[in-house]
Amino acid sequence: MQAMSNPSCQQTVVVKNEKGLHLRPAELVARLAMQFDSTVMVTKDDQSADCKNMLSVLTLGAVQGTQLGLSAEGSDAAEALSAVAELFDQGFHELDSE
């Protein structure tokens, strides 16, 4: 049997910005994830959230320094994962103002 045709990828990211994963970063993550066909999930401990759902992302309560797992599955999984991971790496564009 063939493996699943949808590729999947995983990556670990760290919340870098001082205020953590609050409303504005959660909204940025959701807006970015919605640009892709793939499903992008973010996981903290045993809790997972769909990156396309801002409120779901907020419920993770990720503060500065929290390690999160990102996973993506679908036709553009690698692109989606890379884009969302880069947003985390850039501190949601808040690092410049701190």
Which of 22, 50, 73, 82 is catalytic? The answer is: 22
Which of 19, 12, 18 lies closest to 44 in space, CA to CA?
A: 12
> Would residue 22 show up in a list of annotated catalytic residues for this protein?
yes
DSSP secondary structure, 70-82, as one string: EEEESTTHHHHHH
Kind of pairing between the strands at 47-50 and 39-44? antiparallel
Give, as one character, the DSSP assignment of residue 43. Answer: E
Strand order in the sheet with 67-73: 8-14, 67-73, 39-44, 47-50
Residues classed as catalytic = 22
